[in-house]
Amino acid sequence: MFVCGENDLNEEQETAIYEKNNVFLIACPRSGKTRTITYKIAFELSNLNNHKKWIVAITYTRRAANEIRERIEMLGVDTSQLWIGTIHAFCLEWILKPYSIYHDRIKYSFRIINSYDSEKIISNLCLKLKFKKINYFDCGYYYTPQGLKLTSRNPSTAKEIKEIIDSYHKELEEKKLIDFEQILYFSYEILIKNCSVAKILSKLFGYILIDEYQDTKEIQYSIIANIIRASQGKLKTFIVGDPNQAIFGSLGGYAINLMELEKLSEVKFTQMTLNKNYRSSAKIINYFSNYSVIQRAIVAEGENKEHKSIITYEFTHKNELVEQISRYIEYSINELTISEKEICVIAPWWIHLATLTRKLVNRLPLYSFDGPGLVPFSRDIDNFWFKLTQIILTEPSPNMYVKRVRWASDVISDMQFALIDTHLITPKSLLKIINSITVEDENGLDYLRSFFNELFKMFNIDFTLYPMLKEHYDAFFNSSHDRIKRLSSDNENFVADINTFKKAFKPRTGIKISTIHGVKGGEYDVVIAFGLLQGIVPHFNDNNVDNAKKLLYVIGSRARKNLHLISETERMKGKGKKYQPTEILHWLPYQYDKCPF
């Protein structure tokens, strides 16, 4: 049986892991949440005495799932009875694929539409229906157990947006396609209308663990709760997260409280906490605690707890923004000897980052960057050809072998879902063939086209005959072409050769550029955040003070040592009006440090 090492865990973590009841664990930033859930999974796997049962762990991202799996494997625990992945992958694998016959909309067949094609269909409908004031980005939606909910909070356009979404869904149905939101809703409907499905699943699972519960949607809670209820108390659950970091409210995410969870699942939970922060200095912790929505004491315990942090807040003209951020970067590297990879630049929206990244590259040519404006091809992680590209462009080194085998298994699973006969293809044989192929093309997209064609030629498979693969293929290359065209127009030095493509999958060494949402889970010695303006933080469709606090809480809690905050001046928001600083930040009575240069 797996036993935690003597110095592996603190008392809070160990208590949570060995708790026999269902656990509702509230964990502050960098309190060892991932370590705790990793050891909990390892512990439950080692106690599993039925070879037909599974331990199921649901994470917010695929990246988190891979990280946790790798940590468990490094502990020497057998993961053959572990299923770990996102809620969408869970619903697809455990509900839609085996039980789609119980849903009229998908019982004959279905394919998952990728984000590029989804955007294209909705954009075309906006033009076709002549709604000039509405574009794709206005047409966000998600499902609750009660039905469809629009993310736009503008009542004047709700009717038109609903018409677009209805037309979009009609087109999907005609083409036997479903999108990511429908994966959840159709799974929920199957469980609600067929209680036997939930009972079967409850008997297959020995334990369910949920990471980052604060980003979970109501319909996701309902899906899991249906399975828990069907077990009549036999299926145990471990749920962990931080309600102060619940920043996906606009997409339907919310931090359920203990009472709601117990009512929904019809079982009792033991509430526990992890309050020791091993990342930040006491000064940084005290600062971001000002933005706590749910108050609780956080204790600095890590090696940086006594660090004399610098926390600044500047008003910078929008035309001086690149220069100001560059100075913070140069000061951190040259004066404080902080490495590039320990610096992160954060903005609220991706649209702010792509151009900024390219400008920083030109302003600081001696430094390397890891940002959204530098990846030359589509990064739709659910696109079949992206998954294959990940394997192709990753060096076949011994330390990457386990990852590449896992990726290969994922590719084969997608091929099976596309109705390709793969009984002669194993992950190892797929990797062996990929490693044997040599392509001479220097242009990145030409290289991939040639590689894909050669690979399927060796399998004697014409992938164009399989609709899902053909659709994903077109989407991958069309979106990649658009991306390269945009990069080339913005940066005359940009080169879309195969070496540039390969850099996308090499270990990150440069200065990180990310959104607030994208940086969750990360930690850096220096965090530089800009775009802290009312109408951006919080969003113009969301004037909720608590939501602004959560965004600032996440920004601050990423920093180990130093934190630099910027509200630009003279940034216009239309009709001659200027953005003003984020109110909750601007009016905070805090004695900031002076700019160090």
Joined together, the tokens standing for residue 387 give 């998954």
| Segment 442-501, tens digit of pLDDT | 999 999 999 999 999 999 999 999 988 998 999 899 988 888 887 776 665 667 888 888
Residue 565 lies in a domain: yes
Q: Do residues 132 and 171 share a domain?
A: yes
Q: What percent of the chain has pLDDT over 70?
A: 96
Q: Is the pLDDT of residue 316 over 80?
A: yes
Q: Is the pLDDT of residue 331 over 70?
A: yes
Residue 191: what pLDDT?
Answer: 97
d(C-alpha 496, C-alpha 208), whole Å: 44
| Segment 353-393, tens digit of pLDDT | 877 888 898 899 999 888 765 677 777 778 899 999 999 99
Q: Do residues 203 and 255 share a domain?
A: yes
Residue 343: what pLDDT?
Answer: 97
| Segment 495-553, tens digit of pLDDT | 788 888 887 777 767 899 999 988 888 899 999 999 999 989 987 666 688 989 999 99
Q: What is the CATH number of the domain that holds 192?
A: 3.40.50.300
Domain tally, the chain: 4
Span 406-433, mean pLDDT? 92
Q: Is the pLDDT of residue 311 over 80?
A: yes
d(C-alpha 468, C-alpha 470), whole Å: 5
Q: Do residues 475 and 357 share a domain?
A: no
| Segment 197-240, tens digit of pLDDT | 999 999 999 999 999 999 999 999 999 999 999 999 999 999 99
Q: Do residues 236 and 292 share a domain?
A: no
Q: Do residues 69 and 192 share a domain?
A: yes
Average pLDDT, the chain: 91
Q: Do residues 199 and 259 share a domain?
A: yes
Lowest mean pLDDT among 49-53, 55-59, 73-77, 348-352: 348-352
Joined together, the tokens standing for residue 182 give 């429908």
Q: Do residues 317 and 406 share a domain?
A: no
Lowest mean pLDDT among 79-88, 206-215, 398-407: 398-407
Q: Is 271 helix (H, G, I), strand (E, B) or coil?
A: strand
d(C-alpha 574, C-alpha 560), whole Å: 37
| Segment 13-65, tens digit of pLDDT | 999 999 999 999 999 999 999 999 999 999 999 999 888 999 999 998 888 89
Residue 462 lies in a domain: yes
Lowest mean pLDDT among 73-77, 188-192, 347-351: 347-351
Q: Do residues 253 and 325 share a domain?
A: no
Span 94-106, mean pLDDT? 96
Q: Is the pLDDT of residue 579 over 90?
A: yes
Joined together, the tokens standing for residue 23 give 């656990």
Binning pLDDT at 50, 70 and 90, where does residue 397 land? confident
Q: Do residues 203 and 147 share a domain?
A: no
Q: Is the pLDDT of residue 133 over 90?
A: no
- Residue at a domain's end among 274, 294, 325: 274
Cβ within 8 Å of residue 188, ≥6 positions away: 143, 145, 219, 222, 223, 226
- Residue at a domain's end among 503, 522, 550: 503
Which segments within 282-395 are labelled E, that is strand?
A: 299-300, 311-317, 343-347, 369-370
User: What does 63-125 look like in DSSP terms, one character per residue?
Assistant: HHHHHHHHHHHHTT---TTEEEE-HHHHHIIIIIHHHGGG-TTTSS--EEPPHHHHHHHHHHH
Q: Do residues 78 and 216 share a domain?
A: yes
Residue 312: what pLDDT?
Answer: 98
Q: Do residues 79 and 210 share a domain?
A: yes
Residue 566: what pLDDT?
Answer: 98
Q: Is 232 helix (H, G, I), strand (E, B) or coil?
A: coil
CA Rg, the chain, in Å? 24
| Segment 385-396, tens digit of pLDDT | 999 999 999 988
Question: Domain range holding 480?
Answer: 384-503
Cβ within 8 Å of residue 490, ≥6 positions away: 354, 355, 358, 373
